[in-house]
Structure 1
């Protein structure tokens, strides 16, 4: 039986996979497999079914991608985001992303890199750095790990390397960023409290 792949934008976590599978099945289609960024459907998909699926998915913030190149870009982004933001094991993120993406997509990394840069106006390497810094911000806000532990978990060679990259991206040192966040939180805690007379 013929299968069709639907490439889906904004699909970045396990919950997303479940939602996509449920919505495609509710549209009356048989799902063979759902992975980050892609749903493989058994059989033919009519235009009416495609419209139904698109409506169902857009209600959850997802979008079906028609363009092959845009689908490849999503296939690059999804494993990077999953690897950086959803690393539940707490294992260190020392990853050679060029090998990781080539193997995941079964494509030459130089082609992937050139395509990504031309369509996103940023290199894959820069995209990875930006994702890592976003994750570092989250970890700093949670305040459960020391800066050394964050640096180790995110695959930085040292706290200095993390701090330098963090400052280049955000304009702040990690400790200054954390202090600003704490001050904002304290200010919000004061909202609604009466001023002393």
Structure 2
């Protein structure tokens, strides 16, 4: 059995969910972004208590298959862009998502757009821009290295997309001293 959890987008989120499972003495086999593989089906009262605790912490247990699929898609994109799978950024997005989720891309695209109010492609662009912001703030890579690491065809393409989304050039953003990045679950 799997539990799917909305807004579980980073390693700290995994740790928080793990702590809650342990507090409630709910055995699990594995925890990943947005997904908890259970050793056995928890008792209904424990599942309800877990749902309440997670909700208080900003998470949500999902029971609807379509909502779960959309959340899986989001965590797959986040893992792709913010994780260590950058080599796959040059793979066609539709192929990557269809293979990763084992669902027809056209269905994924239609479901995502109707549920989230934006296309998968726009969501990916927003996630990439958040990653660019993060890398610019670290100030460890130049624009060419950032563009290459995120699968942009050129620095110019990255710069144009960045300005379109943020209203600033990457260089202008780097010069800002304030952090105006969005949490990944709010993108």
Q: Same fold (TM over 0.5)?
A: yes
1:121-132 alignment, distance < 5 Å:
121-132=117-128
Deviation at 1:52, TM superposition (A): 1.5
Is the 2:80–2:86 Cα contact (8 Å) retained in structure 1? no
| 1:35-46 superposed matches below 5 A | 35-46=32-43
Name the SS of the counterpart of 1:93 in structure 2. Answer: helix
**2:22 aligns with one of 20, 25, 35:** 25
| More deviation, 92-101/141-150 | 92-101
Question: Matched residues in 2 for 1:178 and 1:14: separation?
Answer: 26
Between the two structures, name the one with larger relative contact order (CA 8 Å, sep ≥ 6): 2
Counterpart in the other structure of 1:107: 103
Q: Which moved more, 1:170-179 or 1:146-155?
A: 170-179
Inter-partner Cα distance in structure 1 for 2:96 and 2:42: 32
2:153 alignment counterpart: 157
State how far apart, in whole Å, the 2-side matches of 1:19 and 1:67 are.
Answer: 23
* TM-score of the superposed pair, with normalisation by structure 2: 0.85
- Unaligned residue ranges in structure 1 (runs of 5+): 186-197
Q: Which has the larger radius of gyration?
A: 1
RMSD, matched Cα: 2.1
C-alpha contact (below 8 Å) 1:9/1:65 kept by paired residues: yes
Structure 1 residue 48: Cα displacement? 1.2
Give the Å deviation of 1:7. Answer: 1.0
Aligned residues: 179
Which stretch shifts more, 170-179 or 157-166?
170-179
